[in-house]
C-alpha cells in the first residue's frame, strides 16, 4: 500500500505532504491466476487513539466526499486499487497512519452496490462471501503538515509584539 502526493508534486512515496495537497492511495497486487483481491475496512489513525473510517467492511466509502471509492485497474495477474483525495491530518499530529484489509478471493470477491438511495443506508449484496480465502492487513504512514495552521497563532503573537516590547519572545 502506497500513500503519496500526485506525480506532479512528489516522486518520493514517503515525502511529507501538506494539508489539501493532491494525494493518491494505491494498493498494488500480483496474484496467481484465479485469485483476486478487494480492499475493505480502510481507515486512518493518529497513533494516539483517534481513528477515522475510510471504507466499511464491504469496501464502500464511509464518506465519499473525504475519500472516494478505490477503483480497480487489472492487467493480467497484476491489479491496482487506487483513489485520490486532498491530504488531511489529525489535530496536533503530523503522522497519519493508513490501514486496509485486503481480501484474497477465489475467482472473484464479493461485490456490493455502494450507492445509497435516499435515506436507505443498507447495501445490496450482489454475491456471497464464500469465495474469501484470506484477509491480509496493510499498513503505511505518511507525514502531513499544516504549516499555515500549526504556527499561525505564534506568528500572530509575534506580529502583535513587533512594536519592540520584549515580552515572551519566540524565535522561529
CB contact at 8 A, 26 and 82: yes
CB atoms within 10 A of CB 3: 20
CA atoms lying within 13 Å on the CB side of residue 166: 0
Write down the number of H helices and E strands in the chain.
2, 11
Domains in the chain (CATH in brackets) are: 2-147 (2.60.40.10)
Give the span between the Cα atoms of 118 and 152, in whole angstroms. Answer: 41
Residue with the bigger pLDDT between 76 and 137: it is 137
pLDDT of residue 116: 58
Cell of 95: 503522522
- The share of the chain scoring above pLDDT 70, in percent, equals 72
- The share of the chain scoring above pLDDT 90, in percent, equals 56
Predicted structure pTM score:
0.75
Amino acid at each position: 500500500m502506497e500513500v503519496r502526493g500526485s506525480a506532479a508534486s512528489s516522486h518520493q512515496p514517503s515525502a511529507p505532504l501538506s494539508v489539501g495537497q493532491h494525494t493518491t492511495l494505491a494498493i498494488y497486487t500480483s496474484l496467481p491466476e484465479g485469485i483476486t483481491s478487494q480492499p475493505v475496512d480502510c481507515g486512518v489513525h493518529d497513533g494516539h487513539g483517534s481513528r477515522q473510517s475510510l471504507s466499511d467492511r464491504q469496501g464502500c466509502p464511509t464518506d465519499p466526499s473525504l475519500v472516494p471509492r478505490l477503483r480497480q485497474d487489472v492487467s493480467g495477474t497484476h491489479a491496482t486499487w487506487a483513489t485520490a483525495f486532498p491530504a488531511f491530518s489529525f489535530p496536533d499530529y503530523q503522522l497519519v497512519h493508513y490501514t486496509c484489509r485486503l481480501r484474497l478471493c477465489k475467482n472473484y470477491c464479493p461485490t456490493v452496490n455502494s450507492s445509497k438511495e435516499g435515506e436507505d443506508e443498507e447495501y445490496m449484496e450482489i454475491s456471497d462471501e464464500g469465495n474469501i480465502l484470506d484477509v491480509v492487513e496493510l499498513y503505511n504512514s505518511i507525514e502531513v503538515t499544516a504549516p499555515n495552521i500549526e504556527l499561525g497563532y505564534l506568528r500572530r503573537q509575534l506580529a502583535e509584539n513587533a512594536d519592540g516590547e520584549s515580552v515572551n519572545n519566540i524565535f522561529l
